[in-house]
Chain A
Amino acid sequence: MNLLLFSLFREKKRRRVVELTEKMVVDGGTGTRCEWEGRWNHVRKFLERSGPFTHPDFEASTESLQFMLDTCKILVIGAGGLGCELLKDLALSGFCNIHVVDMDTIDVSNLNRQFLFRPKDVGRPKADVAAEFINSRIPGCCVVPYPFESNAFCVEFHIIVCGLDSIVARRWMNGMLLSLLVYEDGVLDPSSIIPLIDGGTEGFKGNARVILPGMTACIDCTLELYPPQINFPMCTIASMPRLPEHCIEYVRILLWPKEKPFGDGVGLDGDDPDHIQWVYQKSLERAAEFSITGVTYRLTQGVVKRIIPAVASTNAVIAGKGQNPGIVKFAYIPLNNYMVFNDVDGLYTYTFEAERKENCSACSQVPQDLHFSPSSKLQEVLDYLTESASLQMKSPAITATVEGKNKTLYLQSVASIEQRTRPNLSKTLKELGLSDGQELAIADVTTPQTMLFRLSFTS
């Protein structure tokens, strides 16, 4: 060995170590990894040593660490409460190729838990700030931000980790990964599977799950686990309020569109304190009419924005759990496959294997049957699609091939088409020219691919 080169190498390494400790800002984001003695000691013990509880296919080697450091590409969806924790955990555990997607900007109320952000960052895109922070603080880590919608690139990643705040978004992601699966002669090609690790929190409760699309239960298989959102009945809001929440909803849903307090066409913006103040005042008036107490500014904002309480600690726990499968995945048998956490009373965790639904509308590849009598109205079909616990669609668009031509039966998202197709809702399926066994193509925000349903007439 060339002693000179060897010394030079050691000198360079030593200098790097000194630099690190002298000034705290490190040049990140360029892919140059700064290593120092023992940096990955913790992780090494799991990847380079064999053990009695490891995965049967696991072989201790230095390759896994290299893979983690150099090659493994992870996509983190969401840079909010869970996202910040996930990014930090992944970066500190050795993953250097991380991409993060988030279309949101930073709000003051994020700062109690989304610690990659500072008061000076309020208003800036979360993805950008999160990436900057990690890149400048964790040497060698390269986080690439996507502060915009981008869904054409999932296929590049080894693992996808979600910290989303909506079920609709989760279902979309789920559908996206399912659409990437490759089947050869009806057999699933395992290399087309991209594992999805999903987590969610609410106050002191949370859950983490591992989804192997095409193999384990997917989001839609367990849709019933998510309780549908509570909406108060209109008659209660309009004429029979009893709770302060009813008064607030009255102002939000009925009074605001009527009085247009900030001008024509100006929608209620939950983030605008002036808007909330107006709603608050009017809600107080409404409540006074009915002798209802309990309307506060905080409640008003909570109802308008459908705020879910959140703390740093639950996010830390769920991220720790959710990200664990990522590391543990290499050496151990990963979480199988759903874990819930609740620390209201002591600490409670429960792990179970969520089962695939045989006729899951997203992953089973079994065409869904719709059972209706020919005299049922289209409205009934629409109601079923939105209200069924296993489908929970938001605003489905229904098309069918009638007499050889593609016909849009009903579509909500475009006003002109909605108006044109609305009369179809009160027509019967027979009147619309639909026959038994007919296929209906249904699109909705909850799924990236159009779903095919088969109409099955009951007598």
Chain B
Amino acid sequence: MAATKTSKEQRYDRQLRLWGDHGQEALENAHVCLINATATGTETLKNLVLPGDKPTYLIIIQGSVGKMYLHVIFNSSEHCFFMLQNRAQAATELLQELNSDVSGNFVEENPDKLLDNDPEFFHRFTLVIGVQLPESTCLRLGSVLWSASVPFLVCKTYGLIGYMRLVVKEHTVIESHPDNALEDLRLDQPFAELKSHIQSYDLESMEKKDHSHTPWIIIVAKYLEKWLSEHNSQPPKNYKEKEAFRQLIRQGILKNDNDVPEDEENFEEAVKNVNTALNPTKIPTAVEDLINSEQCSNITSQSASFWVMLRAIKEFIQSEGNGSLPVRGTIPDMIADSQKFINLQNVYREKAMQDAAAVSKHVECILQSVGKPPESISEKDIRLFCKNASFLRVVCCRSLAEEYSVDSVNKDEITSYMDSPDSEMVLYLMLRAVDRFYQQHSRYPGVYNYQVEEDISKLKLCVNSLLQEYSLNVNIKDDYIHEFCRYGAAEPHTVAAFLGGSAAQEVIKIISHQFVPFNNTFIYNAMSQTSATFQL
């Protein structure tokens, strides 16, 4: 009998394995607004439409510059359509090709006009993406979105340079899915149930079969006990001691009648994992910082569940946790027979459940203390939070206003990167200079061939005035000024594609609250194929 998997699950199978059903649901319920359907804009849109059914994307087509180029975007329904950045064509094509299935709406409007007449238009969105917008529009939009606490992603492809700026006040991440997570084994401070489980093993009296299939965690624990009793309760600390500890374990390998060591892979594993096993159980600094933060200390009825749960963890640490986070409850696979492994796994699992239950009680109390019903945060969410307690992350980006204000510009970041004159930071400064040029001349430098030469000196003036205004004592090579004139504000497809992919992924991170977004300025240099992230 065939399993009736919904076709949606089949279609999204490959990505569901990355962010799960709950992540997918978040995507599908999001309302994203993309402003300006240029190559970069449509690429970003394509990468958002593909993973999410029935998008409610609102595309605002800015008044055209008169140029006409072809952007093909492919959406999840039967229809694909051209987007031509010429106002006259756009309306026709979109009406022809967009259908209600896609539930994308389009508005043909100038974002500055919208900001004039109806700034609250933007309040309804989960996130707004602004593509190839001039500086003034960006800043205005940025300020509206900041007050409404709507995340804003600025994207720009300029010649061979890609630029992204994320503006989000406070973005919490529970499921950060770190690439290299340390295991949570508690061997340095075994909890009661783990202790008694370890004690239930007597390595010396075991038959070979059992001996060779004892999980390495037990082996390390046993020999650690021995070591501690012989070393004044001090665990192995330096390389020398750890080597000696490894030797101690090796000596535990069974020998046959001829005194030759048997092939005991589980002991080999134990030796190999000594470093992991001896990692002291501690709360990661990043998490400590969060726990000591203001949001965690001052819980109100407005506090997000993230902070309520974190506060509960704090209280857990101070009581049942004895200074540690709740036990994660997972162990890596290791050589062992099924029963020994499952039993050991269950010891960790059950402790994790116990700890989560304790945290739950704290959550209830906290909620009650701020007048909210205890069911406002589900058990499931609390368990997920506890499991990921070591990996919690919060990303707070500065506002655009702060970045652009002379009083709060991040001079240190800029000048320190500019110590290497070819660092990507110079590209950021050039983008700012180019924006300045646009403000002054109502066009970008070098768009037409005849302009390239004469614009170089004009752009240089912009560069100098920029550096002066912000009192930035840095040197920008003339080569970069020349290069940016050469670009002529081109939007080559290859860079647009790269940026479109990157931007879409950051948007997905923000919407799903999984994986960690960048903070807060990303520059891609397609000439050298390098990139950098700055916090400005």
- A52-B479, A315-B501 known; A204 vs B70 contact (CB < 8 Å): no
Q: Which residue of B lies closest to A346 (CB)?
A: B518
Contacts of B501 in A (CB 8 A): 312-320
B7 and A108 contact, CB distance less than 8 A: yes
Contact between A291 and B526, CB atoms less than 8 A apart: no
Question: Does A328 make an interface contact (CB < 8 A)?
Answer: yes
Interface residue B486 (Cβ < 8 Å from any Cβ of A): yes
Identify which of B77-85, B125-133, B218-226 touches chain A.
Answer: B77-85
Docked pose: A204 CA to B515 CA in angstroms = 10
User: Which residue of chain B has its CB nearest to the CB of A305?
Assistant: B13
| Given A112-B12, A351-B530, A24:B515 Cβ within 8 A | no
Bound together, the chains give a CA A328 to CA B334 distance in angstroms of 48
Q: Are A53 and B483 in contact (CB under 8 A)?
A: yes
**Residues of B27-66 whose CB lies within 8 A of A:** 39, 43, 46-47, 50-51
Whether the pair A112, B179 counts as a contact (CB closer than 8 A) is: no
Q: Are A298 and B505 in contact (CB under 8 A)?
A: no
B492 contacts across to A, CB distance below 8 A? 42-43, 46, 93, 327
Whether B500 sits at the interface, judged by CB under 8 Å, is yes
In the complex, what's the smallest C-beta–C-beta distance from B395 to chain A, in angstroms?
9
Indicate if the CB atoms of A120 and B497 lie closer than 8 Å.
no
Question: Is A388 engaged at the interface, CB distance under 8 Å to the other chain?
Answer: no
On whether the beta carbons of B452 and A347 are closer than 8 Å, the reply is: no
Complex-state Cα separation, A328 to B160, whole angstroms: 9
Chain B positions 1-27 with a Cβ under 8 Å from a chain A Cβ: 1-3, 5, 7, 10-18
A324 pairs with B495, CB closer than 8 A: yes
- Give CA–CA (A45, B489) in the complex, Å: 9
Shortest distance between the CB of A118 and any CB in chain B (Å):
6
CB–CB B522/A45 < 8 A: no
Q: Assess whether A323 is interfacial by the CB under 8 Å rule.
A: yes
Q: Given A46-B492, A298-B17: A24 and B449 within 8 A (CB)?
A: no
Query: Which residues of A from 89 to 148 have beta carbons under 8 Å from B?
Result: 89, 92-93, 108-109, 111-113, 115-116, 118-120, 137-139
Given A39-B70, A115-B74, A351-B529, the answer on whether A109 and B502 have CB atoms closer than 8 Å is: no
Contacts A345-B516, A351-B528 given: A37-B18 contact, CB under 8 Å? no
**A224 shortest CB reach to chain B, Å:** 19
CB contact under 8 A between A116 and B486, given known A240-B338, A309-B18 = no
CB distance from A433 to the nearest CB of B (A): 34
| B89-97, B182-190, B369-377, B460-468 - interface stretch | B89-97
Would A89 and B494 count as touching, CB distance under 8 A? Answer: yes
Say yes or no: is A31 at the interface (Cβ < 8 Å to chain B).
Answer: no
With A53-B479, A319-B497: A112-B338 Cβ-Cβ less than 8 Å: no
A118:B78 contact, CB within 8 angstroms: yes
- Nearest chain A CB to B31 CB, angstrom units: 19
Q: Which residues of A contact B495 (CB under 8 A)?
A: 320, 324
CB distance from A82 to the nearest CB of B (A): 11
Q: What residue in chain A is nearest B500 (Cβ atoms)? A: A316
**A346: shortest Cβ distance to chain B, in Å?**
4
| Contact call B515/A344, Cβ cutoff below 8 A | yes
Contacts of A321 in B (CB 8 A): 498, 529
Residue B172 at the chain A interface, CB threshold 8 Å: no
A382 in contact (CB, < 8 A): no
* Mask: chain B, 476-492; 1 = CB below 8 Å from A; 0 = not: 00111011001110111
Q: Is the CB of B519 within 8 A of A346?
A: yes
Residues of chain A contacted by B50 (CB below 8 angstroms): 112-113, 115, 312
Bound CA–CA A298/B3 (angstroms): 11
Q: How far is the CA of A236 from the CA of B518 in the complex (A)?
A: 41
Known contacts A290-B342, A309-B14; decide if A327 and B494 are in contact (CB<8 Å).
Answer: yes
Which chain B residues border A88 with CB–CB below 8 Å? Answer: 72, 497
A38-B69, A277-B3, A312-B50 known; A344-B504 Cβ under 8 A: no
Chain A interface extent, by class: 35 or more
Question: Which one of B16, B333, B504, B527 contacts A243 once the chains associate, using CB atoms below 8 Å?
Answer: B333
A38 to B491, CA, bound (A): 12
Q: Shortest beta-carbon distance, B23 to chain A, in Å?
A: 11
Distance in angstroms from B340 CB to nearest chain A CB is 9
A280 to B488, CA, bound (A): 58
Kindly report which residue of chain B lies nearest to residue A322, judged by CB atoms: B494
CB neighbors of B among A137-186 (8 A): 137-139
Task: Across the interface, name the chain A residue whose C-beta is closest to B162.
Answer: A320
- Given the contacts A41-B490, A42-B490, A49-B486, A307 and B14 also touching, CB distance less than 8 Å: yes
Cβ–Cβ contact B497 & A85, under 8 A = yes
Partner of A313, one of B13, B68, B80, B505: B505
- Please indicate the chain B residues that have their CB under 8 angstroms from the CB of A43 in the complex: 492
Bound state CA distance, A338 and B358, in angstroms? 49
Q: In the complex, what residues of A have CB within 8 A of residue B341's CB?
A: 242
Say yes or no: A316 contacts B504, CB within 8 Å. Answer: yes
- Complex-state Cα separation, A66 to B2, whole angstroms: 55
B213 at the interface (CB under 8 A from A): yes
- Indicate whether B402 reaches chain A with its CB closer than 8 angstroms: no
Q: Which residues of B contact A372 (CB under 8 A)?
A: none
- Is A51's beta carbon under 8 Å from chain B? yes
Cβ of A302 under 8 Å from chain B: yes
Interface size for B (C-beta < 8 A) is: 97
- CA of A458 to CA of B290 in the docked complex: distance in angstroms? 61
A448 on the B face (CB < 8 A): no
A52 touches B11 (CB 8 A): no
Q: Using Cβ atoms and an 8 Å threshold, which residues of chain A touch B524?
A: 349
- Supposing A321-B529, A346-B519 touch, asked if A92 and B70 sit within 8 A by C-beta, the answer is yes
- Check: B236 CB closer than 8 A to any chain A CB: no
Contact of B1 (CB < 8 Å), options: A115, A277, A314 = A277
Q: Are A320 and B494 in contact (CB under 8 A)?
A: yes
The answer to whether B338 touches A339, judged by C-beta atoms less than 8 angstroms apart, is no
Contact indicator B508/A313 (Cβ below 8 Å): yes
Give the residues from 284 to 325 in chain B that come closer than 8 angstroms, CB to CB, to chain A. none
Residue from A48, A49, A93, A291 within 8 A of B342 (CB atoms):
A291
**CB of A21 within 8 Å of the partner chain:** yes
Cβ of B516 and Cβ of A328 under 8 Å apart? Answer: no
A298: B residues at CB distance < 8 A: 13, 16-17
Let me know if A320 and B505 touch, CB within 8 A: no
Residue among A113, A297, A310, A313 with max Cβ neighbours from chain B (10 Å): A313
Contact B529 A242 (CB under 8 A): no
Would B18 and A311 count as touching, CB distance under 8 A?
A: yes
What residues of A have a CB within 8 angstroms of the CB of B15 in the complex? 112-113, 309-311
| A328 contact set on B, CB distance < 8 A | 160, 494, 526-527
Assuming the contacts A92-B70, A345-B178, asked whether A203 and B516 have C-beta atoms less than 8 A apart, the reply is no
Question: CB within 8 A of B11: which of A38, A89, A111, A273?
Answer: A111
In the complex the two chains form, what is the Cα distance from A78 to B50 in whole Å?
20
Q: Nearest Cβ in chain A — how far from B88, in angstroms?
A: 8
Bound Cα distance A346, B84 (Å)? 32
Judged by a CB distance under 8 angstroms, whether A274 is at the interface is: yes
Scoring B residues 90 to 130 as 1 if CB is less than 8 Å from chain A, else 0, what string do you get?
Answer: 00110011000000000000000000000000000000000
A384 at the interface (CB under 8 A from B): no
Give B83 Cβ to nearest chain A Cβ, in Å. Answer: 11
| B166 nearest CB across to chain A (Å) | 10
Instruction: Give A221-254 as 1s and 0s: 1 = Cβ < 8 Å from B's Cβ atoms.
Output: 0000000000000001000111100000000000
Chain A to chain B contacts (Cβ below 8 Å), 10 pairs: A92-B493, A115-B46, A137-B72, A236-B335, A242-B333, A273-B2, A307-B13, A310-B14, A311-B15, A313-B51
Counting from the closest, the 7 A-B pairs by CB-CB distance are A316-B501, A320-B498, A320-B497, A317-B501, A346-B518, A52-B479, A115-B74
Interface residues of A (CB under 8 A from B): 21, 24, 36-39, 41-43, 45-46, 48-53, 85, 88-89, 92-93, 108-109, 111-113, 115-116, 118-120, 137-139, 203-204, 236, 240-243, 273-274, 276-277, 280, 290-292, 297-298, 301-302, 307-321, 323-328, 332, 335, 339, 342-347, 349, 351
**What is B's interface to A at a CB cutoff of 8 Å?**
1-3, 5, 7, 10-18, 39, 43, 46-47, 50-51, 67-72, 74, 76, 78, 80-82, 84, 89, 92-93, 96-97, 159-160, 176-179, 213, 333-339, 341-342, 345, 446, 449, 452, 478-480, 482-483, 486-488, 490-502, 504-506, 508, 515-519, 522, 524, 526-531, 533
